[in-house]
Structure 1
Amino acid sequence: MGMQISAISFREHRELGEVAWLRDYDRGLKLAAEQGKPVLLLFQEVPGCSTCVRFGQDVLTHPLMVEFITDRFVPVAIFNNHPGADTEILHRSDEPSWNNSVVRFLRPDGAELVPKLADRYDALGLHDKMAAVLAMLDDEVPGYFRLLGRDLLVEYGLSKCMTYTTPCFWSGETSLATHPAVITTDAGWVDGEEVVQVYFDPREASRPVLDAYASAEGFNPIESRGFELDREPQFYLRKNVARRLPLTPAQRTRINLAVPYRSSVADLLSPQQSAWLGDTNLKRSSGEDAYRRDIRQSWPKLVSQLGIIEREN
């Protein structure tokens, strides 16, 4: 008896997150050949231990992660604790049964593109592997997915935080955002002074380097204790209809920079976000401060109002 061909998702199994997975390995390879996509093959314990559930709920539920997987891969799930066809694929892949989450990345002929993701259960690990797959295929990593990687640095505590006094924190946000190491900016107050709080990638710039850049712009470092967010952070984004979109912190920082310079925001948005931006019903379906909410909460709310993109495969 063959595996299911229909897709399944978190509605049946929390270990699978919100990705719609195929359950037929050979069918997945065939679709990959037809669509010109690689296969993202998840070996998962279902029902699973707490590690497997966390991988599904923490890693495979971020809206941009889910969209990227769906858009750029053919996702196939193999249950490593089920008999029958699942066990057959385990043996063919030399994967153990009853194991924690493992992800492989395959060409349509089944050949492995990059080393598998194993013994690592965080979103940043999966993000970096998928970016490596696109690089292997000479396929450009879209801007929104690069920004997601930077957001994950902040989420996992791998970024650094600095706060700078500025004559005007609205223009200060855009000035600081131009530095390539800066991931996010927020306008606010410390002891009555206008400041901008930034998170930056320490791999791209040290604190002294960023301090020197800020000083050249007329800004000075200050202790961030007592930082209070202003009522209108990302001032220029607030003037744009994109404020009604679910956005990550890195996205809203880059869009806030793009708007006053009249730069395109297309590469900063996912296909779904771009579709919503062009929807005439966006204004009545989403609040003006949607961009400030956690994307994991604001995304499903907008889906319920405007629906999702139907892709032709």
Structure 2
Amino acid sequence: MKKNGISFLEHRELGDVMWLRDHDRALALAAEQSKPVLLLFQEVPGCSTCVRFGQDVLTHPLMVELIADRFVPVAIFNNHPGSDAEILRRYDEPSWNNPVVRFLGPDGKEVLPKLADRYDALGLHQKITAVLEMRSEDVPGYFRLLGRDLLVAHGLSKCVTYTTPCFWSGETSLAQHPAAITTDAGWVDGEEVVQVHFDPREGSSPDLDAYARAEGFAPIDGGSFELDREPQFYLRKNSARHLPLTPAQRSRLNLAVPYRIPFAELLSPQQSAWLADPQLQQSSGDETYRQDIRVSWPSLVAQLGSIGKGMRSWM
């Protein structure tokens, strides 16, 4: 490993972020670029917790892209001697420890308390969002949507299902409720329904029920939900269907298309670049938008490449 270079791919504890390994060089770059520093103290090679943090948290394409775009990332190995150990002492961090993430301003001062004793993507997302907001920087729409996806992934959302005269229009109607995260067209006992995952901090089940009834829908309890063959019907009519997308992105794009709402803010810079690429439709299938983004993203990188910005090629 080069002490001043980028982390090698074989270190699973580091995920897909391209980390600098020179702390002082990272601070110099941060000052030069007016960016905050994302400072990771990580055990490499590490325990199962360290590996999971690298593979579960630091591999999501939208998390990786945001870090590359808005931060100067630097990794310090907490179980190595030499300059790593020196930086460890400077921050009074223990050796042979689970992952710790600190957030520094371009001046090297800590922006907010470190992320420690929490090793999930939602925790890192919340800290990154807080850093951007404290610096009065915009939090990209795609990154806010990722936070809502993570609520679902961590079991912190609620789910309700409604019968609808037409589930395709039902998807777009229900997606307009502020609490809605995802909407999916499907079937329960032969009836057309829309399943909604929502953020309980922004609305309750009674709130959603009242909204749905006003739209002509009815809540349904019980039964087994079966996803329709063509969920996000309107998105399927748009070239964005060829993009790797998260579930929350799919639902918001499906709403934007029929209402002709500009949706550039819903996409990351890489997704926007792919959408503008004339080779997209030939390189990506019609069902790409429905696939797990962790699978479809590297597949499209292999076909069309990436715009860079310090990100790995995922290859």
TM-score, with normalisation over the residues of structure 1? 0.97
1:82 to 80, 83, 92: 80
SS state of the match for residue 116, structure 1? strand
Deviation at 1:224, TM superposition (A): 4.9
Which whole-Å CA distance do the structure 1 matches of 2:128 and 2:222 have between them?
A: 35
Corresponding residue of 1:238: 236
1:51 to 45, 49, 62: 49
Task: Summarize deviations over 1:202-250 as a string: whole Å, max 9, x none.
Answer: 1111111111111111111112531111111100000000000000000
1:22 aligns with 2:6: no
Residue identity matched to 1:6: G
SS state of the match for residue 26, structure 2? helix
When structure 1 is superposed on structure 2, of 228-237 and 218-227 the one drifting more is: 218-227
Question: Percent identity over the alignment?
Answer: 76
Aligned partners of 2:68 and 2:309 also within 8 Å = no
Corresponding residue of 2:4: 5
Corresponding residue of 2:225: 227
Task: Summarize deviations over 1:21-77 as a string: whole Å, max 9, x none.
Answer: 000000000111111110000000011111000000000000101111111100000
SS state of the match for residue 308, structure 2? coil
Deviation at 1:3, TM superposition (A): 6.7
What are the within-5 Å matches in structure 2 for residues 181-220 of structure 1? 181-220=179-218
Deviation at 1:311, TM superposition (A): 3.3
SS state of the match for residue 41, structure 1? strand
Residue identity matched to 1:239: K
2:36 to 35, 38, 45: 38
The list of structure 1 runs, each at least 4 consecutive aligned residues, that deviate by more than 4 angstroms after superposition, is none
What are the within-5 Å matches in structure 2 for residues 94-173 of structure 1? 94-173=92-171
SS state of the match for residue 107, structure 2? coil
Aligned partners of 2:181 and 2:248 also within 8 Å = yes
Aligned partners of 2:163 and 2:192 also within 8 Å = yes
Task: Summarize deviations over 1:124-160 as a string: whole Å, max 9, x none.
Answer: 0000000000011000100000000000000000001
Task: Summarize deviations over 1:57-114 as a string: whole Å, max 9, x none.
Answer: 0000001011111111000000000000000001111111111000000012210001
TM-score, with normalisation over the residues of structure 2? 0.97
Which whole-Å CA distance do the structure 1 matches of 2:229 and 2:208 have between them?
A: 26
Gaps of 5+ in 2: none
1:250 aligns with 2:248: yes
Which whole-Å CA distance do the structure 1 matches of 2:159 and 2:148 have between them?
A: 13
SS state of the match for residue 260, structure 1? helix
Corresponding residue of 1:288: 286
Which whole-Å CA distance do the structure 2 matches of 1:78 and 1:224 have between them?
A: 51
Residue identity matched to 1:251: Q
Corresponding residue of 1:61: 59
Which whole-Å CA distance do the structure 2 matches of 1:65 and 1:312 have between them?
A: 13
When structure 1 is superposed on structure 2, of 126-135 and 104-113 the one drifting more is: 104-113
Aligned partners of 1:3 and 1:24 also within 8 Å = no
Which whole-Å CA distance do the structure 2 matches of 1:112 and 1:304 have between them?
A: 38
Which whole-Å CA distance do the structure 2 matches of 1:312 and 1:126 have between them?
A: 19
Greater RCO, CA 8 A, separation 6+: 2
Gaps of 5+ in 1: none
Aligned partners of 1:197 and 1:224 also within 8 Å = no
Task: Summarize deviations over 1:144-201 as a string: whole Å, max 9, x none.
Answer: 0000000000000000111000000000000000001000000001111100001000
Residue identity matched to 1:287: G
Residues 58 and 224 of structure 1: CA distance in aligned 2, closer, same or farther (over 3 Å): farther
Aligned partners of 1:123 and 1:152 also within 8 Å = yes
Deviation at 1:276, TM superposition (A): 0.2
